Amino acid sequence: MGSLGISTTFTVGVLALQGAFNEHTQLLRSAAKFHPATQFTFLEVRTAAQLATCDALVIPGGESTTISLIAERCNLLEPLREFVKVQRKPTWGTCAGLILLAESANRTKAGGQELIGGLDVRVNRNHFGRQTESFQADLDLGFLAAEGGKAVPFRAIFIRAPIVETLLKASDGAQEDEAQKPETVIAPSKDVAEGIDPSIKRAPVEVLGTVPGRSAATKRQDGTTDNEAGDIVAVRQGNVFGTSFHPELTGDARIHAWWLGEVVKTMEARKSS
Ligand code: GLN
């Protein structure tokens, strides 16, 4: 095992303001069994004090406007931005959580939505349409494969799901160009120069999963389709991971188990540096 040994406990929070937080906590517990030598505490997070005890955080699916409104009322928005963008602790957003972690989101009324940011991407909210247009798809997720192998496809559930429609230039500040676009909101900049470990550079955005073939059926606003690449439904940028679908609504704990492994690796690397 890693240098920290069995005595280390990692506290993993699940933002519990609205949405599928309970399902995430259950699946995290199952996923922890894949890491028998590591101890985890799972915590529902509703206050800044609880957030401060966390090593990593999951932001669940639900309704991103509602989650951001409640977070604002609970004075959690700034602590969340600090957690993700300054402390750069491992954070995973699913569906509404992905929207909140994007630096830019379109199809959003001005003032209708606050973003946390952390992922230099623009998401298109509700890309796949309404609740009744929910669907499931088998995804080939390379990061779930054992070395040299191929993973069993992951049955992903999409409910009013966003997609990552554009990867933006990695920036440490606000995506000002994005703010000029109609119906687009951006996350406010965070002075990452302050309090951040300079050895942790802003990483590039990696595409970790796509849905093949959907883009042809759902033509983009600007008229382009991207049949080759498919629609981007899983991305990672340094400490931040986002999926448009809902692994927490399946019984398949593989993504949760993988992510917990990434959390442990990140925290161990930071402690030993
Ligand atoms: N599109 C929804 C939103 O804007 C997210 C849907 C979901 O999390 N299932 O928040």
Q: Could you read off the pLDDT of 67-91 as tens digits, one per residue?
A: 999 999 999 999 999 999 999 999 9
CB-side neighbour CA atoms (13 Å) of 25:
14
| Ligand 1 atom having least distance to the Cα of 113 | 4
For residue 19, the CA-to-ligand 1 centroid distance in Å is 9
Would you say the CB of residue 125 lies under 6 angstroms from ligand 1? yes
Q: Which two tokens stand for residue 223?
A: 């008229």
- Report pLDDT for 21: 97
Residues 6+ apart with CB under 8 A from 203: 170, 237, 238
The residue nearest atom 1 of ligand 1, judged by CA position, is 126
For residue 99, the CA-to-ligand 1 centroid distance in Å is 8
- Report pLDDT for 74: 94
- Report pLDDT for 194: 56
Pocket test for ligand 1, best of 63, 98, 116, 250 (most atoms within 8 A of CB): 63
For residue 7, the CA-to-ligand 1 centroid distance in Å is 38
For residue 105, give the 3-state DSSP assignment: strand
Q: Which two tokens stand for residue 202?
A: 């802003």
| Ligand 1 atom having least distance to the Cα of 60 | 8
User: CA 197, 198, 200 angle in degrees (round to 5)?
Assistant: 75
Long-range contact set of residues 171-174: C-beta below 8 Å, sequence gap at least 24: 171/103, 171/120, 171/202, 172/202, 174/103
- Report pLDDT for 230: 83
Q: Which two tokens stand for residue 230?
A: 């498919």
Given a cut of 90, is residue 254 above it in pLDDT? yes
Supply φ then ψ for residue 207, to 5 degrees: -85, 120
How large is the average pLDDT for residues 205-220?
70
Q: Give catalytic residues, as residue numbers.
A: 95, 246, 248
- Report pLDDT for 1: 42
C-alpha distances out from residue 24 to 93, 123, 237, 244, Å: 11, 22, 21, 15
Would you say the CB of residue 61 lies under 6 angstroms from ligand 1? yes
Token pair 């949760």 in the structure block, residue: 256
Would you say the CB of residue 13 lies under 6 angstroms from ligand 1? no
Q: What is the pLDDT of residues 8-21, one digit of tens each?
A: 899 999 999 999 99
- Report pLDDT for 169: 81
Would you say the CB of residue 225 lies under 6 angstroms from ligand 1? no
> Cβ(16)–Cβ(44) under 8 Å?
yes
Nearest CA to 21 out of 39, 41, 40, 45 is that of 45
Chain mean pLDDT for the chain = 86
| Ligand 1 atom having least distance to the Cα of 159 | 9
Distance (Å, whole) CA 253 – CA 22: 14
For residue 162, the CA-to-ligand 1 centroid distance in Å is 7
Distance (Å, whole) CA 164 – CA 158: 14
